[in-house]
Amino acid sequence: MKILQMKHLNALLCAALLANPAMAQSTEFRCLVSVDATTPIRLQFDFPQSEHAHATVRYQRGSKPLPLRALKSSSVEMTPGRPFEFTTVWKEPGRAGGTYTVATQGALINRFTYLRTRDKKTFTFEEDTGAMGTSRCKWGK
């Protein structure tokens, strides 16, 4: 296991996600749906496009994208010769803002969770590939 420094991790995450030019458009954002909520929660997660950029999240029923700032990041070499798994914890603005934990390996999202601050409830998400549009998620009404 190797842990990389935070300042290099965001650059590596962006590079890993955009390493394949043919996949660049599809890896800038992801559509996700909750797997454990009574009513499914749908969101779009926009990965930062540079080392200093913020990620954003936009909910299907939300009014605008929420900026997220990275709290901490780590990486682990799961298998020698394979891409590292990068895990980043992102924070919503304000004291009551929740946190998103995103674990990626190459172009794959291995884990995506949201911890709601007010009641400490955790929601687990999986990719909603059927909602992928060209530049944003397309959810049915």
Tens of pLDDT along 35-48?
Answer: 998 999 999 999 99
* Structural domain contains residue 14: yes
Domain count, the chain: 1
**Domain limits at 110?**
6-131
- The string of pLDDT tens digits covering residues 97-118 is 999 999 999 889 999 999 999 9
Task: Specify whether the CB–CB gap between 77 and 1 falls below 8 A.
Answer: yes
Q: Which residue has the higher pLDDT, 130 or 63?
A: 130
* Structural domain contains residue 140: no
* Structural domain contains residue 136: no
* Structural domain contains residue 138: no
Distance separating alpha carbons of residues 49 and 70, to the nearest angstrom: 13
Backbone angles phi, psi at 49, to 5 degrees: -100, 0
pLDDT at 11: 41
* Structural domain contains residue 47: yes
Which H or E element spans position 26? helix 24-27
pLDDT at 19: 40
* Structural domain contains residue 77: yes
- The string of pLDDT tens digits covering residues 47-101 is 998 877 899 999 999 889 999 999 999 999 888 888 899 999 999 999 899 999 9
pLDDT at 20: 37
**Per-residue pLDDT at 23 exceeds 80:** no
pLDDT at 75: 92
* Structural domain contains residue 141: no
> What are the tokens at 25?
């458009």
> What are the tokens at 106?
């190459």
pLDDT at 141: 63
* Structural domain contains residue 54: yes
